[in-house]
Amino acid sequence: MSQQKFDQLREQLAEISDLVKTAALLGWDQHVMMPPGGASLRAEQLATVGRIAHQKFTSAKMGKLIDGLRSWGEQRDYDSFEASLIRVAALDWEKASKVPSELRAEMSRSAALANPVWVDARKRNDFAAFLPVLRKNLDLRKRYIDCFEVDDEPYDIVLDDYERGMKTKEVRGIFDYLKEHQAPLVKEVAARGGNAEHHHNFALEPQKVFELEVIRAFGFTDEAWRLDPTVHPFASGTGITDIRITTRYFSEHFGGLFGTMHEFGHGLYERQVDPALERSPLARGVSLGLHESQSRMWENLVGRSLPFWRHFFPRLQELFPDELGGYDDERWYREVNAVEPSLIRVEADEATYNLHIILRFELEQAMLAGEFPLEQLPEEWNRRMWDYLGIEVRNDTLGVLQDVHWSGGSIGYFPTYALGNLISAQIWEKITADLPDLHDGFEQGEFGPLRDWLREHLHRHGRKFTPGETLERVVGTSQIDPEPYVRYLREKLAAIYGIATTT
């Protein structure tokens, strides 16, 4: 009887997964293909699909079915599909069932309507035009938080949506460590005289050719992947064999390449989930912190490494002989690893990136707490940019309007970017210990061993375990440790800039 009930649960969760993936496809289309006139209709479509999925999942019948299987699941092997599906579904149901379906639908609708407003406001440097939809999204998040009992801080509720089990005070402690140990690195580099200005004009079509060659070497295939341009890059898809990544291109630098490698890392995580988990809530990355560890790994630990460029730089130079004729691979490596405080998060170097995240983390808490009128958000943003990075923000397009997240109501997401940086370094130390010839392989254009290691140790598990359990299985500890990242960064910058390897 229990097996029959489990089969019933699995089938119902598969139908809900289909709805969730349909919403993802609608969202991808909205950002990549949809004409602007479709915005209002798409908002209703997303609200409808989201409401139906939420109602099906949070029904009392579903709760009773899950509850009736708990003891049966606990008797099975902890790592099994059955035990994992019941365990994860129970946790998801407990949180989702506290949220009314109409509120969930309204959150989806508001996010869809806000996106084109944000795109236009960003283009026109018009924060005032974005303010009403931002206020609506923020109010909806406050209503969402009110659905739960808050034991410590309201921000815990939204943070948990992206990093299950993580508490705001834990993140704050980690970020305080980064401010203490990472910010001085930026000052040490600046004291060495900073970086010379580099003026380039890279034609876009050869860039597109090069980017495809890079990610094909990483594992991108036409059978299971798409790459498309968009305003703010992201990764999406409808399943393990349908991975969609997006990018954007710049003529003055190669930020688009690093963005593409970043989104490839997200896509690879989804691509390498065990196919047996498909059409279930287990068939995706376990948390955004772990997810960001993968995107930041391919973007930085691979894509900004000297072995990577020893292989790929001759091809890049071949495509841009006039721009890069006077370069060698080491000069280019130093340039793409230059430490220069900048306005745009997604183009920030490794030393300053986490400071961009700390700024957003603090602002999100302040917005939820109503610490200042929302009209003053640009001023609060600009003040923190000066405090943390010593940069004056010239306009809101380059400041508070640069990110897509708040237009989608994604408050609580930003901290996971920095957490992902830290996790990536923890995982990298384990990978390089297990694969001592990894960098030699990069110089030969071989990335299969890294891809296979990640599949075996991390990707295939999907959401079977908690973020802490997953991290422990990969590196031996469930705790996010900032020290390996700071150590990696200091050693790298010591080699480039001649600063001390230890403080």
Q: What are residue 397's DSSP bridge partners?
A: none
Q: ∠226-332-189 over CA atoms, to 5°?
A: 110
What are the boundaries of each domain within the chain?
2-149, 169-345+407-497
Q: What are residue 225's DSSP bridge partners?
A: 243
DSSP 225: E
- The CA R_g of the chain, rounded to the nearest whole Å, is 23
> Strand runs (DSSP E) across 251-397, as ranges?
none
Catalytic residues: 263
* Alpha-helical runs (H) found in 59-126: 60-74, 81-96, 101-124
Say if residue 426 is exposed, middle or buried (CB neighbours under 10 Å; 0-12, 13-18, 19+). buried
> 131 to each of 111, 198, 298, how far by Cα in Å?
13, 36, 35
The per-residue pLDDT for 220 is 98
The per-residue pLDDT for 117 is 96
The per-residue pLDDT for 352 is 92
Say if residue 202 is exposed, middle or buried (CB neighbours under 10 Å; 0-12, 13-18, 19+). buried
The per-residue pLDDT for 231 is 87
Cβ within 8 Å of residue 1, ≥6 positions away? none
Sequential pLDDT tens for the chain (503 residues): 689 999 999 999 999 999 999 999 999 999 999 999 999 999 999 999 999 999 999 999 999 999 999 999 999 999 999 999 999 999 999 999 999 999 999 999 999 999 999 999 999 999 999 999 999 999 999 999 999 999 899 999 999 999 999 999 999 999 999 989 888 888 888 777 655 557 789 999 999 999 999 999 999 999 999 999 998 899 999 999 999 999 999 998 888 999 999 999 999 999 999 999 999 999 999 999 999 999 999 999 999 999 999 999 999 999 999 999 999 999 999 999 999 888 999 888 999 999 999 999 999 999 999 999 999 999 999 999 998 888 999 999 999 999 999 999 999 999 999 999 999 999 999 999 999 999 999 999 999 999 999 999 999 999 999 999 999 999 999 999 999 999 999 999 999 988 877 75
The per-residue pLDDT for 503 is 58
Task: Output the furthest CA–CA distance in the chain (Å, rounded).
Answer: 73
Provide the 3-class DSSP secondary structure of residue 251: coil
CA separation for the pair 355, 285 (Å, rounded): 25
Q: Residue 43, Cα to own-chain centre: how many angstroms?
A: 23
CB 47 within 8 A of CB 27: no
| Tokens encoding 500 | 């001390």
The amino acid at 143: R
CA separation for the pair 473, 401 (Å, rounded): 39
Helix (H) or strand (E) holding 455: helix 448-457
Sheet order of strands, 235-239 included: 225-229, 242-247, 235-239
The per-residue pLDDT for 35 is 94
Concatenate the DSSP letters of all residues of 257-274 into one string: HHHHHHHHHHHHHHHTS-
Q: Residue 90, Cα to own-chain centre: how many angstroms?
A: 25
Fold entry, domain 169-345+407-497: Neurolysin; domain 3 (1.10.1370)
The per-residue pLDDT for 193 is 64
Q: Residue 233, Cα to own-chain centre: how many angstroms?
A: 10
